[in-house]
């Protein structure tokens, strides 16, 4: 189990780096799919098969397909690096490292290395997740879906040609 976790985690990190380092958009998108797949494996190891499968179906199988399709439609090949902003060039690295240290510090303070993972008291099976979504948190859940619907409508209206 531990070995599988380290393999999946390493894969996620390497693929995540390749998302931002690749100059060809298709390769970046493909790396992102690998990241999502590796995360699904980690969810599986955490005992949440439902979340793992939904992760693959929704993110890798639907959203990323749209990304890949748009990249294909635009037929985007290699990106040309643009070195216009000297400000970003010099400050980007330090700001990134500061942010990373801050996040790591917060995580470490919350969960010391020696601590055992907190018992959530939750099963990862579809039924219990369904109960949470449609009984306990039904209002936030529905409000979120309305929000997404409104955003979608907005996108359709903006994209529509003016008469």
State the residues that interact with another protein by CB under 8 A: 26, 30, 33, 49-50, 53-54, 56-57, 60-62, 65-66, 68-69, 71-73, 75, 125-126
- What's the closest the beta carbon of residue 114 comes to another protein, in angstroms? 27
Least Å distance between CB 53 and another protein?
4
Lookup: tokens for 12 = 């996620």
- For the bound state, the minimum distance from the C-beta of residue 46 to another protein, rounded and expressed in Å, comes to 14
Nearer to another protein, 89 or 131 (CB): 131
Nearest-approach distance from CB 94 to another protein, in angstroms: 34
* Of residues 47 and 92, the one with the C-beta less far from another protein: 47
Looking at the Cβ atoms of 58 and 151, the one nearer to another protein is: 58
Residue 128: CA count within 13 A, CB half-sphere: 11
């Amino acid at each position: 189990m531990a070995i599988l976790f380290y393999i999946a985690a390493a894969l996620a990190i390497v693929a995540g780096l390749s998302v931002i380092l690749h100059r060809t958009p298709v390769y970046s998108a493909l790396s992102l799919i690998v990241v999502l797949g590796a995360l699904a494996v980690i969810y599986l190891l955490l005992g949440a098969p439902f979340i793992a499968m939904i992760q693959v179906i929704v993110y890798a199988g639907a959203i990323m397909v749209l990304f890949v399709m748009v990249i294909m439609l635009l037929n985007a090949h290699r990106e040309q690096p643009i070195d216009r902003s000297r400000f970003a060039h010099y400050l980007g690295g330090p700001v990134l490292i500061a942010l990373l240290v801050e996040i790591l510090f917060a995580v470490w303070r919350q969960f010391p290395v020696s601590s055992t993972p907190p018992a959530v008291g939750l099963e990862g099976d579809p039924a219990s997740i369904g109960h949470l979504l449609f009984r306990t948190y039904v209002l936030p859940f529905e409000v979120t879906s309305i929000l997404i619907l409104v955003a979608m409508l907005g996108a359709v209206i903006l994209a529509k040609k003016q008469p």
